[in-house]
Structure 1
Amino acid sequence: MPKNKLFKSQNYSLKNYSFYFFTHFIFQNALKFHFEIFHFNLYAAQNINLQMTLEQQLHLQS
């Protein structure tokens, strides 16, 4: 009987440990992906604004 209790407690801690790693990697990758998209959109918006200002300057010069 005590051996089963010990096995159950070890099995339970192993499940919690694997669940922690599983959620940790999922959230880590999700946040990384979110920030990559955010920075890419920010960079693209800056490029569009820069392109528009350069086009306006070219139109003013000509």
Structure 2
Amino acid sequence: MSYRPFIGKVRRYVWRTHEGACTDGIGLMSGPRILAHLTPDEALALSNELTDLAETLEAERQETPK
């Protein structure tokens, strides 16, 4: 069986640097591990791209004869 990378959960997450700076945002999680941290603007841009790609894939799937 092969491993398929997966984001299992998203949650509010404050990124803290070693210098003490904090960036409020959204954590993309896999179990207890954070895979990525997005600012609100980055999250909105990514959600638009994900929606566009999902709609394109769905349209292509529906066009393909079975």
TM-score range, shorter chain: 0.3 to 0.5
Normalised TM-score (structure 2)? 0.42
Normalised TM-score (structure 1)? 0.44
Q: Which has the higher contact order (CA 8 A, sep 6+)?
A: 2
Q: Which has the higher helix share?
A: 1
Q: Which has the higher strand share?
A: 2
Structure number with larger C-alpha Rg: 1
